Amino acid sequence: MHEMSLAEGVLQLIEDAAHHQEFAKVTKVWLEIGQLSGVEIEAMKFCFDAVTRDSIADGARLEIITAPGTGWCLECSTTVSMTEVYGECPQCGGYQVQVTGGTEMRVKELEVV
């Protein structure tokens, strides 16, 4: 998608937290990325390294927590697991599935010194 903008957003959240919680260096960052969020993990890691250079998070390790994709099938009236946004219902094969989970893009926590 647009991992560079997202990585900049991550750095902003880190800098805001540094400001309010008074830490000087970030050593690890946990991101929760949903399977259906459209984020390319490899591109995210690459962009994160690029935008954090010479910042408070320079050299920090990025840990990705993957959140599973889920949807609500209108035909089956039940929650089903999904691997693609436009994927079919694994039960009935229909496409009337509304995504209900797996679009997360969150900064969970930081390890700081």
User: In the complex, what is the shortest distance from the CB of residue 4 to another protein, in angstroms, rounded to a whole number?
Assistant: 4
**Which of 92, 99, 100, 101: binder of another protein (CB under 8 A)?**
99
64 is an interface residue for another protein by CB under 8 A: no
Nearest-approach distance from CB 74 to another protein, in angstroms: 6
Report how far Cα 82 is from the mean position of its chain's Cα atoms. Answer: 16
The answer to whether residue 53 forms part of the interface with another protein (CB under 8 A) is: no
Binds another protein (CB under 8 A): choice among 41, 58, 68, 78: 58
CA-angle at 69, arms to 105 and 14, nearest 5°: 15
108 forms part of the interface with another protein (CB under 8 A): yes
| CA gap 55, 29 in Å, rounded | 14
Hey, what long-range contacts does 9-17 have (CB within 8 A, 24 or more apart)? 10/48, 10/51, 10/107, 11/51, 11/52, 11/55, 11/57, 13/107, 14/55, 14/56, 14/57, 14/107, 14/110, 15/55, 15/56, 17/110
Site string for another protein, 10-49 (x = CB under 8 A): xxxxxxxxxx-xxxxx-x---x------x----x--xx--
Contacts with another protein, residue ranges (CB under 8 A): 1-6, 8-19, 21-25, 27, 31, 38, 43, 46-47, 54-56, 58, 74, 84-86, 95-99, 104-113
